[in-house]
């Protein structure tokens, strides 16, 4: 079997995702964007079982997959999904002295993520997750082509 595309082109995929997320959040640096995305991933995975989290990670491009699982306390019981404002505060609580995460961090990460993978696969997976999972990654757009996968 040949090397998976996501491993061979991990930098290219990650750069495209990071640029999308940074632009959508209006942030000035990759470091600020990374902190925001890391907070979004941690907030989402706290609401999943390990099996659900690994299934979600399996859909992600290689570097995002690594960020998603890094430092995960898989023994912690899943939390219930909360409203967007409460989960945004949770995202912003990561590294509070170095965190400039904007209020649109979850939406912006979802927008960038949807442009990084096959949306049908993500939606199919989320349909079997706890209530609130699909809403977490939902993005309202006027033109659906805005969310078309950038790198195939």
Question: What's the CA gap between 41 and 35, in Å, rounded?
Answer: 10
Q: What is the pLDDT of residues 22-50, one digit of tens each?
A: 999 999 999 999 999 999 999 999 999 99
pTM above 0.85, yes or no: yes
Query: Which domains can be identified in the chain, with CATH numbers?
Result: 5-147 (1.10.490.110)
| DSSP line for 55-77 | HHHHHS-HHHHHHHHTT--TTSP
Residues contacting 54, CB < 8 A, separation 6+: 69
Q: Which of the 8 DSSP states describes residue 1?
A: -
End-to-end CA distance of the chain: 19
Q: How confident is the model at residue 152 (pLDDT cuts 50, 70, 90)?
A: low
Residues in the chain: 152
Number of Cβ atoms within 10 Å of the Cβ of 36: 26
Distance in angstroms (rounded) separating the CA atoms of residues 112 and 91: 16
Q: Determine the pLDDT at residue 144.
A: 85
CA–CA separation, 126 and 115 (whole Å)? 16
């Amino acid at each position: 079997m040949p090397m998976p595309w996501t491993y061979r082109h991990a930098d290219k995929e990650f750069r495209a995702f990071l640029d999308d997320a940074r632009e959508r959040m209006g942030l000035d640096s990759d470091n600020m964007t990374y902190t925001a995305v890391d907070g979004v991933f941690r907030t989402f995975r706290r609401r999943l079982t390990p099996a659900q989290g690994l299934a979600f990670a399996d859909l992600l491009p290689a570097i995002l997959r690594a960020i998603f699982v890094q430092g995960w306390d898989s023994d912690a019981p899943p939390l219930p999904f909360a409203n967007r404002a409460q989960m945004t505060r949770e995202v912003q609580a990561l590294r509070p002295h170095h965190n400039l995460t904007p209020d649109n961090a979850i939406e912006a990460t979802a927008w960038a993520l949807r442009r990084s993978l096959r949306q049908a696969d993500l939606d199919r997976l989320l349909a079997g997750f706890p209530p609130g999972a699909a809403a977490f990654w939902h993005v309202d757009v006027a033109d659906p082509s805005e969310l078309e996968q950038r790198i195939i």
